[in-house]
């Protein structure tokens, strides 16, 4: 933690030493606390430039979606001529409500399957002994390295051509049904729980399903929340697979219908760029809102645990 | 209720030698039962499609309507020959190389610099973290829409550059289309790697910086002599993720540069699999291409791991 402060002092790049009170520099770096520890102006400049680069397209997206005429010139970066018309327009072209419903059904389906079957698998991998446990765990690690896109062609042949599940929610959900990263998270969490707790319950004659439901799961709430958030962004943002399995515009989730608006429906509205940005805002909003609400739980700590080694 | 039914089935599985504690052996069947849906999922979604791709890739395969059946004659390696002699396939792999050459160094450098900055004692850390992470959790399709508009011929960036704007514009310029995809992906995923490095930095001991400082190493020197080697495992992961992302590129060339344009300058193997396999009805060609791509990913990942872990 204090490493960067030490090295700032060492290289004397204008950093203020810890014990010396800031003299005339209070305008830039105000004392942050009793310790007065702070980064240098250069660090802030760097971080701010980064933040601008990351946030500007989002800002531009929102501002552009609210303008009566959305053009690319420099004045387009400042809000002006506010209107909600673009949202009405994109709604007319791709029916936002219905698209959102499709996205919602697909995402909720994945969340439910991951929650039920993922928790069961995670618990078994962490707390129960059975033949092939090592193999299943190895497979879990392996599939996270397999690029899903490579399986789309055979999956398309199987799901759409052989099983006839095109334009069907089951077909949309199937490849994502159980999120392996979530299973991994559940396993890691259940692994950390004290064995004695489970022993006691077993001696009392409780079945595993009951132990899982009454003891393990209530303790695992933070892990469940993190896993659900991670799982959410996958199907909600997914494009390729639902694009392949839904030909019927009434079944297409928002990512797919917005993409078709992007490639061939823009001519149908008066302010195409504004309507596109409005659609993009609607697609982005749920994930962004969840992220802002539960930011702490979105950290990749558990994925990193393999790295820390 | 169900619990007792579940435990009752366990008896059959207790015979094999297992070093697990007693209760574990007793619950053996329950564990197998709990994990069954997930195993079935892995079989249906991973194992069967993988096997099926291999099978399709050595047959002449046609799409048929659901329920009907067409013969698929064995053709040996003919599909692979077609893949290797197709110039567009070569172009797609070359594009992935261009992607990696831009994406990997840029991601490693920017993510490490931003993570080091975030690791300092600073204010508004939560804000900065959130800002960096935002593109990572947002749908590609939404962000591609914004980029397409910003980097369009009459877009914001060209207005900003005035006479210095490239002609033809960014996304329709055969020299810039693929680099633009690499920049877009770098931008979108950087936040994830910043967090990865930030976590890895917690393991680099403060005493190492102090020692380096005592030895007279400046800030830049410390960055390269202490920070960079300290986070090497994370760097390996970044490289492997980048290769997987590169091998998976689809939405970006399909949407951002209008189907891998101009003239295949930004096409990708997965986009070709879609175009050849599904649009043009040659799933056998696409399956062979998929197998080649998996082989390519494995070889490059192993090589990258060797390379980044050298010296450990």
- Give residue-wise pLDDT tens across range B177-201: 999 999 999 999 999 999 999 989 9
- Give which of A150, A240, A258, A273 to mutate to test B binding, by max B Cβ within 10 Å: A150
Let me know if residue B81 belongs to a domain. Answer: no
Reported ipTM: the value is 0.86
Query: For residue A82, what are the β-bridge partners?
Result: A67
Q: How far apart are CA A46 and CA B282, in angstroms?
A: 50
Separation in Å, CA of A188 to nearest CA in chain B: 15
The pLDDT tens digits of the residues spanning A132-143 come to: 999 999 999 888
Of A111, A95, A224, nearest to A173 (Cα)? A111
How close does chain B come to A35, measured CA to CA in Å? Answer: 11
Chain B residue numbers with beta carbons less than 8 Å from the beta carbon of A200 are none
pLDDT attached to residue A299: 60
Same domain, B30 and B170: no
Of B16, B39, B117, the CB nearest to A136: B39
Intra-chain end-to-end CA distance of chain B, in Å: 54
Provide the pLDDT for residue A39: 54
Q: Give the pLDDT confidence score for residue A35 in this predicted structure.
A: 34
Mean pLDDT of chain B: 86
Shared domain check, B161 and B37: no
Distance CA A109, CA A90 (A): 26
Residue B99, pLDDT score: 96
Return d(Cα B260, Cα B108) in angstroms, integer.
Answer: 26
CB A243 within 8 A of CB A259: yes
Nearest to B52 among A118, A154, A206 (CB): A154
Asked, as a colleague might, if the bond just before B262 is cis with ω within 30 of 0, I would say: yes
8 Å CB contact between A125 and A140: yes
d(CA A259, CA B251): 9
The total domain count for chain B is: 2
How far apart CA A134 and CA B171 sit, in angstroms, is 48
* Contact yes or no for A131 and B121 at CB 8 A: no
Q: How confident is the model over A251-256, as a mean pLDDT?
A: 96
Q: Is residue B72 part of a domain?
A: no
Which residues of A are less than 8 Å from B129 in CB distance?
Answer: 295
Residue at B194 is within a domain: yes
**Where do the DSSP E strands lie in chain B?**
none
**Domain residue spans of chain A:** 99-251+297-308
| Closest residue, chain A, to B222 (C-alpha) | A7
Residue of A nearest to B25 (CA): A129
Nearest residue to B289 via CA among B302, B303, B277, B301: B277
Assign domain A99-251+297-308 one CATH number from 1.10.8.50, 3.50.50.60, 1.10.3720.10, 3.40.640.10.
1.10.3720.10
Residue B278 CA, chain-centre distance (Å), reads 22
In chain B, residues with a C-beta closer than 8 Å to the C-beta of A57 are: 135, 143, 146-147, 150
Residues spanned by the domain of B243:
87-308
Regarding whether B146 and B95 lie in a shared domain, the answer is yes
**More confident position, A5 or B146:** B146
pLDDT of residue B179: 96
Assigned token pair, B132: 């960096």
Residues of A in contact with B38 (CB under 8 A): 117-118, 120-121, 136, 140, 178, 183
User: B145 and B101, same structural domain?
Assistant: yes
Q: How many CB pairs under 8 A join A and B?
A: 368
Do you know the residue count of chain B?
312
pLDDT-derived band of residue B125, with 50, 70 and 90 as boundaries?
confident
* Selected residue with higher pLDDT from B121 and A236: A236
Minimum CA–CA partner of A78 in chain B: B156
Integer Cα distance of A172 and A195 in angstroms: 39
Instruction: Please list every residue in chain B whose beta carbon sits closer than 8 Å to the beta carbon of residue A40.
Output: 120
CATH classification of the domain holding B241: 1.10.3720.10
Q: What is the pLDDT of residue B48?
A: 93
Residue of B29, B55, B113, B149 to mutate, testing the A interface (most A Cβ within 10 Å of its Cβ): B149
CB environment B50-81: b (16+ within 10 A), e (fewer)? bebbeebbbbebeeeeeeeeeebeebeebbbe
Q: So what's the pLDDT on residue B67?
A: 65
Q: Is residue B103 pLDDT above 80, yes or no?
A: yes
Residue A87 makes CB contacts below 8 A (sequence gap 6+) with A65, A96, A278, A282
Give yes or no for residue A71 having a pLDDT over 60. yes
pLDDT of residue B142: 96
Banded pLDDT at A40 (limits 50, 70, 90):
confident
B129, part of any domain: yes
Q: How far is CA B118 from CA A99, A272, B198, in A?
A: 38, 39, 7
User: Are residue B171 and residue B278 in the same domain, yes or no?
Assistant: yes
**pLDDT at residue A17 tops 60:** no
* C-beta atoms of A209 and B45 within 8 A: no
Task: Work out the number of other CB atoms within 10 angstroms of the CB of residue A307.
Answer: 20
Q: What are the residues facing B59 on neighbouring strands? A: B74
Tell me how far apart the alpha carbons of residues B243 and B247 are, in angstroms, rounded to a whole number: 6
Burial A175-191 (b: 16+ CB within 10 A, else e): bbbbbbbbbbbbbbbbe
Q: Is the dihedral of CA B256, B262, B263, B265 positive or negative?
A: negative
Contact state of B45 with A237 under an 8 Å Cβ cutoff: no
Q: Which two tokens stand for residue B92?
A: 């797609």
Confidence tier at A24 by pLDDT (50, 70, 90): very low
pLDDT at residue B311 in the model: 53
| Res. B244: pLDDT tops 90 | no
Q: Count of CB atoms within 10 A of residue A96's CB?
A: 20
Distance of CA B70 to the CA centre of its chain: 35
Contact B159 A74 (CB under 8 A): yes
pLDDT at A175: 94
pLDDT average, residue stretch B69-76 = 86
């Amino acid at each position: 933690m204090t490493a960067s402060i030490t090295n700032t002092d060492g290289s004397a790049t204008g950093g203020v030493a810890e014990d010396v009170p800031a003299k005339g520099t209070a305008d830039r770096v105000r004392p942050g606390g009793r310790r007065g520890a702070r980064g240098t102006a250069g660090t802030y400049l760097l971080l701010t430039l980064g933040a601008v680069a990351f946030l500007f397209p989002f800002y531009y997206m929102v501002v552009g979606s609210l303008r009566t005429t959305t053009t690319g010139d420099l004045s387009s970066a400042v809000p002006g001529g506010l209107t909600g018309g673009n949202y009405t327009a994109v709604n007319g072209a791709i029916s936002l409500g219905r698209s959102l419903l499709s996205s919602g059904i697909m995402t909720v389906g994945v969340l439910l399957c991951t929650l039920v079957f993922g928790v069961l698998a995670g618990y078994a991998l962490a707390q129960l002994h059975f033949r092939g446990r090592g193999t299943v765990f190895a497979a879990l690690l392996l599939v996270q390295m397999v690029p899903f896109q490579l399986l789309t062609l055979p999956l398309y042949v199987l799901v759409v051509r052989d099983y006839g599940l095109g334009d069907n929610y089951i077909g949309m959900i199937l490849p994502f049904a159980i999120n392996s990263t979530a299973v991994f998270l559940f396993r890691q969490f259940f692994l950390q729980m004290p064995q004695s707790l489970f022993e006691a319950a077993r001696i009392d004659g409780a079945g595993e399903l009951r132990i899982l439901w009454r003891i393990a799961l209530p303790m695992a709430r933070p892990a469940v929340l993190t896993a659900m958030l991670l799982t959410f962004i996958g199907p909600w943002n997914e494009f390729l697979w639902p694009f392949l399995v839904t030909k019927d515009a009434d079944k297409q989730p928002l990512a797919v219908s917005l993409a078709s608006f992007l490639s061939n429906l823009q001519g149908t509205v008066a302010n195409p760029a504004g309507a596109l940005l409005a659609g993009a805002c609607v697609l982005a909003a749920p994930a962004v809102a969840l992220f802002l609400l539960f930011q702490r739980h979105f950290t990749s700590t558990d994925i990193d645990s393999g790295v820390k080694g | 209720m169900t619990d007792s039914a579940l435990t009752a089935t366990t008896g059959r599985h207790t015979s094999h030698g297992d070093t697990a504690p007693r209760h574990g052996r007793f619950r053996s069947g329950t564990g197998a039962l709990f994990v069954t849906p997930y195993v079935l999922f892995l079989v249906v979604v991973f194992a069967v499609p993988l096997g099926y791709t291999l099978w399709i890739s050595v047959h002449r395969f046609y799409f048929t309507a659901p329920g009907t059946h067409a013969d698929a004659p064995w053709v040996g390696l003919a599909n692979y020959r077609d893949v290797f002699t197709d110039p567009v396939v070569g172009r797609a792999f070359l594009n992935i190389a261009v992607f990696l050459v831009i994406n990997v160094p840029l991601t490693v450098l920017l993510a490490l610099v931003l993570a080091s900055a975030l690791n300092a004692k600073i204010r508004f850390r939560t804000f900065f973290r959130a800002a960096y992470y935002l593109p990572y959790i947002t749908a590609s399709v939404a962000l591609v829409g914004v980029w397409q508009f910003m980097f369009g011929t009459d877009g914001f960036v060209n207005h900003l550059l005035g006479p210095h704007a490239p002609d033809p514009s960014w996304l329709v310029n055969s020299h810039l289309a693929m680099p633009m995809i690499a920049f877009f992906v770098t931008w979108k995923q950087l936040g994830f790697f910043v967090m990865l490095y930030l976590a890895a930095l917690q393991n680099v001991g403060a005493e190492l910086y102090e020692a380096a400082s005592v030895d007279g190493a400046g800030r830049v020197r410390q960055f390269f002599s202490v920070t960079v080697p300290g986070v090497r495992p994370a760097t390996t992961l970044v490289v492997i993720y980048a290769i997987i992302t590169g091998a998976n590129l689809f939405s970006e060339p399909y949407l951002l540069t209008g189907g891998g344009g101009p003239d295949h300058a930004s096409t990708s193997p997965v986009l070709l699999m879609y175009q050849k396999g599904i649009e043009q009805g040659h799933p056998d060609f696409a399956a062979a291409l998929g197998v080649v791509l998996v082989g390519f990913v494995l070889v490059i990942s192993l090589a990258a791991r060797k390379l980044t872990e050298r010296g450990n």
